[in-house]
């Protein structure tokens, strides 16, 4: 990423990549939009800092976000989840979308 020592970036700092595609939740019968909101693609951790730029890696702090993994962890097994074949299920409440990252994506420092 652009920005390094001169920007007070340090190894171990965390940044979130902004996802510019909002989550849109609609009524499945009427198609009416209920709500929309933005989230992040990934959490990144700074590994190396130089003059003018820094290297990052995906952070393991984002964890798994799929609804299926959370349901299984909560004690449900697959036979309780009636999901049609080839249907993509996302945890729309996750802070991270895990969409593809691109050169030029914007980042915001995570100060939490």
First to last CA, the chain: 20
Quick one: tokens of 84? 């049609």
Closest CA to 28 of 86, 71, 87, 85: 87
The predicted pLDDT at position 89 comes to: 66
pLDDT in tens, 6-40: 999 999 999 999 999 998 989 989 999 999 999 99
d(CA 85, CA 10): 45
Q: HSE (CB half, 13 Å, CA atoms) of 21?
A: 8
Closest CA to 12 of 63, 56, 47: 47
pTM here is 0.69
The residues pairing with 60 across neighbouring beta strands, listed in sequence order, are none
């Amino acid at each position: 990423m652009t920005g390094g020592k001169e920007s007070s970036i340090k190894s171990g700092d965390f940044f979130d990549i902004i996802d510019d595609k909002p989550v849109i939740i609609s009524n499945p019968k009427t198609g009416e939009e209920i709500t929309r909101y933005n989230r992040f693609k990934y959490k990144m951790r700074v590994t190396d800092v130089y003059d003018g730029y820094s290297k990052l890696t995906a952070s393991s702090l984002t964890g798994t976000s799929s609804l299926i993994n959370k349901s299984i962890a909560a004690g449900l097994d697959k036979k309780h989840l009636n999901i049609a074949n080839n249907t993509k299920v996302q945890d729309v409440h996750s802070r991270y979308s895990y969409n593809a990252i691109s050169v030029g994506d914007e980042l915001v420092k995570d100060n939490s």
